């Protein structure tokens, strides 16, 4: 199965859900034979429950906020490295994991790959919502909730300052491809223990 989990906001528009549903539709088109499930996981506990109740997972996707330490759930909570190591994720042979969260490729994706023995991918730059999948394009206020919305990463104001903000606003920033790490990828020395 392809399991797509997403965090949900405390209030306001459910952009994570919209992006997760868009990703789910894209995976259904690419893999029509696969069982694709899109599941809200607002808390760490919800995420752990979704994993525990899953059939063998060929692809695990998590659409969320995040940082170098990993995905963030409601209220900014996260799973610690010890929490991750304690999980029993039912991966199928040849499985992969994808973290659609900002800065998840800096430390977390390599850690996940080595911990679970599956390739894991994440973003180096901060993540944003875009109407287009391959370049940043602002979501207009009139963008319907059922319309496609993508979670992408690209340079922007937090990483590239004023020029990054200008280029992003002008639609000149391409989406960063997910950076893939194999289970043999070396971790930074301070994280290896």
What confidence score (pLDDT) does residue 140 get? 84
Q: Per-residue confidence at 157, pLDDT binned at 50, 70, 90?
A: low
Residue 31 lies in a domain: yes
Range of 25's domain?
2-123+178-186
Residue 93 lies in a domain: yes
What confidence score (pLDDT) does residue 173 get? 79
Give the chain's domain count: 1
Residue 182 lies in a domain: yes
Q: Which helix (H) or strand (E) holds 164?
A: helix 157-169
Asked if residue 32 lies in contact with residue 64, where contact means CB atoms within 8 angstroms, the answer is no
Residue 159 lies in a domain: no
Distance, CA of 96 to CA of 101 (rounded, Å): 16
Residue 67 lies in a domain: yes
Q: Helix H segments across 70-124?
A: 81-86, 108-116
Residue 134 lies in a domain: no
Residue 42 lies in a domain: yes
Share of the chain above pLDDT 70, in %: 84
Instruction: Provide the CATH number for the domain around residue 113.
Output: 3.40.50
Average pLDDT estimate for 111-133? 94
Residue 173 lies in a domain: no
The predicted-structure confidence for 8-27, as pLDDT tens digits, reads as follows 765 556 889 999 999 999 99
Share of the chain above pLDDT 90, in %: 61
Half-sphere exposure of 68 (CA within 13 A, CB side): 5
């Amino acid at each position: 199965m392809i399991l797509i989990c997403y965090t949900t906001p405390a209030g306001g528009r459910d952009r994570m859900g919209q992006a997760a549903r868009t990703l789910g539709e894209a995976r259904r088109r690419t893999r029509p034979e696969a069982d694709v499930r899109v599941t809200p996981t607002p808390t760490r506990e919800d995420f752990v429950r979704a994993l525990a109740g899953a059939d063998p997972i060929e692809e695990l996707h998590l659409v969320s906020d995040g940082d170098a330490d990993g995905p963030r759930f409601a209220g900014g909570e996260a799973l610690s490295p010890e929490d991750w190591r304690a999980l029993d994720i039912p991966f199928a042979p040849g499985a992969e994991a994808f973290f659609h969260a900002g800065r998840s490729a800096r430390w977390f994706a390599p850690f996940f790959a080595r911990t679970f023995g599956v390739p894991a991918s994440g973003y180096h730059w901060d993540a944003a919502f875009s109407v287009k999948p391959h370049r940043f394009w602002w979501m207009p206020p009139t963008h319907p909730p059922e319309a496609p919305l993508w979670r992408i990463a690209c340079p922007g104001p937090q990483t590239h300052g004023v020029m990054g903000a200008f280029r992003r606003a002008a639609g000149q920033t391409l989406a960063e491809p997910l950076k893939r790490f194999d289970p043999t990828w070396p971790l930074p020395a301070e994280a290896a223990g």
